[in-house]
Amino acid sequence: MPLSDDIMIIIGNKSAEEFKKLLPASAKILNDFYYTMSPVGGLITAALSITKPYFAALAVDMPLINPKIIEKLYFMAQRSLGDNSYA
């Protein structure tokens, strides 16, 4: 079961057309707002583009990360902020 159906891919200054062929139609593909900042620019782009209260940023070299780790981080963030509405 996916943790979220809200997927955002930040692609630097590359063309989105290549990525659209490989990703689900629901994935949001964005160019970096601040490309010269390298990975930090991608994180800023993601942070400014999210519509949910939490997000997880994963590097492309971590495709096999265990979803339980993301889920644990999500629940820890909720608890630390006093948000028990999703528990």
Give tens-digit pLDDT for 19-55.
898 888 889 999 999 877 778 888 999 999 988 887 8
% of the chain residues with pLDDT over 90: 16
pTM score, two decimals?
A: 0.68
Share of the chain above pLDDT 70, in %: 89
Could you give the C-alpha distances from 22 to 1, 9, 12, 29, 51, in angstroms and in order?
Answer: 20, 11, 17, 11, 23
Please give the DSSP secondary-structure letter assigned to residue 10: E
- Going by C-alpha positions, the residue among 63, 60, 30, 70 that lies closest to residue 48 is 30
